[in-house]
Structure 1
């Protein structure tokens, strides 16, 4: 699985002009299940993200984890993280997990992430509008 983490002061997600998720300080996590990914990888990715020391401590160093700062997580599915841009100008997405597998792994990841911090979610497969205020900015790529 792949995830793009963005440290945020706030983030929200809307579907059809209706807000379905909102967080204050924490992480916006864009996540993609890849072909062949497993439930164990979803669990491991959530645990790894929760432990990332990417929040500022008293000395202004990135030394604190999500749990240390009491942050929340907004998880949004994003199959485009599987984009293959190696040929031509139109990305290919064949490396992404099939829809049913991707949905199951996304849901598993959200459940696993909720063991570490409060979680809000987008809607798998929906056309979503995501808003965020990136803190830092800090944007980090993580794979499991």
Structure 2
């Protein structure tokens, strides 16, 4: 997985966190990230896809999340919520991306940005989502 794409995910977590907390206009947040050169080492097109794709598909993403979390999605820690939303987005809409990559990236984002142990929570939720949304892919991998 490219470092530029990983950096795009990191920036998307921060931007989505800001959007969740402040409710600012998406294009305003994107402008800030560009001006502050926070996307310098990131794949900008992937950042844009995630940053606009998550809010655009928020109802579907949160619907899937709500099946697997132990509390209302809105009450999940905002950092973990941003990471989970990106992971679910990728599992649902980036079918060309292996589910293991999505899980690993989510775990690493939680280790970078989340509270102690949050990577275990993120892994558990994304794994359950993957079992449901990527069952065919998982079964095919296990059959090898």
TM-score, reference length from structure 2: 0.33
Higher RCO, 1 vs 2 (CA within 8 Å, ≥6 residues apart) = 1
Return the structure number with greater strand share: 1
Return the structure number with greater helix share: 2
TM-score, reference length from structure 1: 0.33
